[in-house]
A and B are shown apart, each in its own frame.
Chain A
Amino acid sequence: MKNTDILIIGGGVIGCALARELSRYEAKIAVVDQAWDVAEGASKANSGIVHAGYDAVPGTLKAKYNVAGANVFPTLCEELGVPYRRCGALVVGFSEEDRATLQELLDRGVANGVPDLRIIEREELLSLEPNLNPQACCALLVPTSGVVSPYELTFALADDAALNGVSFHFGEEVSAIEHDAEGGFVVHTSKGEWRCRILVNCAGSSSARLHNQLSSHPLHITHRRGQYYLLDRPKEAPFERTIFQCPSKMGKGVLVSPTVHGNVLLGPSAEDIDDPLNTETTQSGLDSVMEKVRLTWPKVSLRTNITNFSGVRAHEEGGDFILGAVEGCPRAYEAVGIESPGLSSAPAIGKALAEQIAGEQHLPAKAELAPYQKPAIPFREMTPEEQEKALVENPLYGNIICRCEVITEAEIVAATHCPVPATHIDAVKRRTRAGMGRCQGGFCSPRVAAIISRETGIPLQDITKNGGNSYLLTGTLTKEAEGREQA
Chain B
Amino acid sequence: MNRQHVDILIIGAGPAGLAAAIAAREDGIESLLVLERESNPGGILRQCIHNGFGLHRFKEELTGPEYAQRDIDRAKELNIDIECDTTVLAVSPDRVVTCISREKGLRFIEAGAIILAMGCRERPRGALCTPGTRCAGIYSAGTAQRFVNLEGYLPGKRVVILGSGDIGLIMARRMTLQGAKVLACVEIMPFSSGLNRNIVQCLNDYDIPLYLSHTVTDIQGKERLESVTVSQVDAQRRPIPGTEMVFECDTLLLSVGLIPENELSEGAGVQISPATSGAVVTDTFETSVPGVFACGNVLHVHDLVDHVSNESFRAGHAAARFVRASQEDKAFLRVEDGEGVRGTVPQMIQLHPQEAVTLMFRPSGVFRNASAVISCGGKELLRRKAMIFTPGEMAAYTLKPEAFDGLDGSEPVVVRIEKGAE
The answer to whether B142 touches A442 (Cβ under 8 A) is: yes
What residue in chain A is nearest B239 (Cβ atoms)? A283
Closest A-B pairs by Cβ, 4 of them = A465-B136, A398-B102, A440-B124, A470-B136
Q: Is B397 an interface residue (CB 8 A)?
A: no
The answer to whether B37 touches A403 (Cβ under 8 A) is: yes
Question: Which chain A positions have C-beta within 8 A of B154?
Answer: 473-477, 480
The answer to whether B140 touches A442 (Cβ under 8 A) is: yes
Question: Which chain B positions have C-beta within 8 A of A281?
Answer: 131-132
Question: Which chain B positions have C-beta within 8 A of A465?
Answer: 135-136, 223
Query: A280-B132, A398-B100, A465-B136 known; A474 and B266 CB under 8 Å?
Result: no
Question: Which chain A positions have C-beta within 8 A of B222?
Answer: 277
Q: Is A358 an interface residue (CB 8 A)?
A: no
What residue in chain A is nearest B103 (Cβ atoms)? A398
The answer to whether A440 touches B125 (Cβ under 8 A) is: yes
Interchain CB contact (< 8 A) of B266 among A235, A392, A399, A441 = A235
The answer to whether A446 touches B147 (Cβ under 8 A) is: yes
Interchain CB contact (< 8 A) of B178 among A277, A469, A477 = A477
A343 vs B312: C-alpha distance in the bound complex, in angstroms? 52
Question: Which chain B positions have C-beta within 8 A of A302?
Answer: 129
* Chain B contacts with A in 125-167, Cβ cutoff 8 A: 125-127, 129, 131-136, 139-140, 142-143, 146-148, 151-158
Question: Which chain A positions have C-beta within 8 A of B286?
Answer: none
The answer to whether A440 touches B223 (Cβ under 8 A) is: no
The answer to whether B153 touches A477 (Cβ under 8 A) is: yes
A235 vs B250: C-alpha distance in the bound complex, in angstroms? 37
Question: Which chain A positions have C-beta within 8 A of B140?
Answer: 439, 442
The answer to whether A446 touches B146 (Cβ under 8 A) is: yes
A390 vs B142: C-alpha distance in the bound complex, in angstroms? 33
Per-residue B-contact encoding for A448-487, CB less than 8 Å = 1, 0 else: 0010000000001100111111111111111010000011
Q: Is B101 an interface residue (CB 8 A)?
A: yes
The answer to whether B152 touches A439 (Cβ under 8 A) is: no
Task: List the one stretch of A156-164, A303-311, A316-324 in contact with chain B.
Answer: A303-311
Q: Is A387 an interface residue (CB 8 A)?
A: yes
Interface Cβ pair total, 8 Å cutoff: 146
Question: Which chain A positions have C-beta within 8 A of B134?
Answer: 279, 307, 309
The answer to whether B217 touches A398 (Cβ under 8 A) is: no
Question: What's the least CB distance linking B234 to chain A, in Å?
Answer: 15
Q: Is B235 an interface residue (CB 8 A)?
A: no
Per-residue A-contact encoding for B283-300, CB less than 8 Å = 1, 0 else: 000000000000000000
Interchain CB contact (< 8 A) of B124 among A235, A280, A306, A464 = A306
Query: A398-B103, A403-B87, A446-B151 known; A471 and B224 CB under 8 Å?
Result: yes
The answer to whether B101 touches A398 (Cβ under 8 A) is: yes
Per-residue A-contact encoding for B97-108, CB less than 8 Å = 1, 0 else: 010111111100
The answer to whether B136 touches A396 (Cβ under 8 A) is: no
The bracket for how many chain A residues form the interface is 35 or more
* Chain A contacts with B in 370-409, Cβ cutoff 8 A: 384, 387-388, 391-392, 395-400, 403-404, 406
Q: Is B85 an interface residue (CB 8 A)?
A: yes
The answer to whether B102 touches A396 (Cβ under 8 A) is: yes
Using a CB–CB cutoff of 8 Å, the interface residues on chain B facing chain A are 1, 37, 85, 87, 89, 98, 100-106, 121-122, 124-127, 129, 131-136, 139-140, 142-143, 146-148, 151-158, 178, 217, 219-220, 222-224, 226, 239, 250-251, 261, 263, 266
The answer to whether B121 touches A443 (Cβ under 8 A) is: yes
Question: Which chain B positions have C-beta within 8 A of A259?
Answer: none
The answer to whether B124 touches A400 (Cβ under 8 A) is: no
Question: What's the least CB distance linking A327 to chain B, in Å?
Answer: 35
Interchain CB contact (< 8 A) of A473 among B89, B124, B147, B220 = B147
Q: Is A285 an interface residue (CB 8 A)?
A: yes
Question: Which chain B positions have C-beta within 8 A of A439?
Answer: 121-122, 124, 140
Interchain CB contact (< 8 A) of A384 among B1, B219, B226 = B1
A486 vs B132: C-alpha distance in the bound complex, in angstroms? 21
Question: What's the least CB distance linking A28 to chain B, in Å?
Answer: 32
Question: Which chain A positions have C-beta within 8 A of B157?
Answer: 474, 486
Q: Is A286 an interface residue (CB 8 A)?
A: yes
Q: Is A344 an interface residue (CB 8 A)?
A: no
Question: What's the least CB distance linking B83 to chain A, in Å?
Answer: 12
Question: Which chain B positions have C-beta within 8 A of A168?
Answer: none
The answer to whether A388 touches B105 (Cβ under 8 A) is: yes
The answer to whether A486 touches B151 (Cβ under 8 A) is: no
The answer to whether A308 touches B131 (Cβ under 8 A) is: yes
Q: Is A445 an interface residue (CB 8 A)?
A: yes
Question: What's the least CB distance linking A254 to chain B, in Å?
Answer: 16
The answer to whether B106 touches A391 (Cβ under 8 A) is: yes
A23 vs B100: C-alpha distance in the bound complex, in angstroms? 41
Question: What's the least CB distance linking A129 to chain B, in Å?
Answer: 25
Q: Is A229 an interface residue (CB 8 A)?
A: yes
Question: Which chain B positions have C-beta within 8 A of A486?
Answer: 157-158, 250
A465 vs B126: C-alpha distance in the bound complex, in angstroms? 17
A139 vs B261: C-alpha distance in the bound complex, in angstroms? 40
Question: Which chain B positions have C-beta within 8 A of A404?
Answer: 263
* Chain A contacts with B in 390-436, Cβ cutoff 8 A: 391-392, 395-400, 403-404, 406
Query: A392-B105, A399-B102, A440-B124 known; A282 and B131 CB under 8 Å?
Result: yes
A230 vs B129: C-alpha distance in the bound complex, in angstroms? 10
The answer to whether B122 touches A470 (Cβ under 8 A) is: no
Question: Which chain A positions have C-beta within 8 A of B121?
Answer: 438-439, 442-443
Question: What's the least CB distance linking A402 to chain B, in Å?
Answer: 11
The answer to whether B223 touches A400 (Cβ under 8 A) is: no
| Most A CB within 10 A of own CB, among B122, B126, B156 | B126
Question: What's the least CB distance linking A43 to chain B, in Å?
Answer: 16
Question: What's the least CB distance linking B37 to chain A, in Å?
Answer: 7
Interchain CB contact (< 8 A) of A285 among B131, B152, B266 = B131
What residue in chain B is nearest A390 (Cβ atoms)? B106
Per-residue B-contact encoding for A102-126, CB less than 8 Å = 1, 0 else: 0000000000000000000000000
The answer to whether B87 touches A388 (Cβ under 8 A) is: no
Question: What are 26 residue pairs bridging A and B, where the CB atoms are less than 8 Å apart in the complex?
Answer: A280-B132, A280-B133, A283-B131, A305-B129, A306-B124, A308-B126, A391-B105, A395-B102, A396-B102, A399-B87, A403-B37, A403-B261, A439-B124, A439-B140, A440-B124, A440-B125, A440-B126, A442-B124, A442-B139, A471-B136, A474-B154, A474-B155, A475-B154, A476-B153, A477-B152, A477-B154
Question: Which chain B positions have C-beta within 8 A of A461?
Answer: 153
A473 vs B100: C-alpha distance in the bound complex, in angstroms? 31
Question: Which chain A positions have C-beta within 8 A of B125?
Answer: 307, 440
Question: What's the least CB distance linking B215 to chain A, in Å?
Answer: 11
Query: A230-B126, A440-B126 known; A466 and B136 CB under 8 Å?
Result: yes
Question: Which chain B positions have C-beta within 8 A of A403?
Answer: 37, 87, 261
The answer to whether A280 touches B217 (Cβ under 8 A) is: no
A467 vs B223: C-alpha distance in the bound complex, in angstroms? 8
The answer to whether B87 touches A280 (Cβ under 8 A) is: no
A236 vs B151: C-alpha distance in the bound complex, in angstroms? 39
What residue in chain A is nearest B108 (Cβ atoms)? A384
Query: A307-B125, A308-B129, A442-B142 known; A470 and B223 CB under 8 Å?
Result: yes
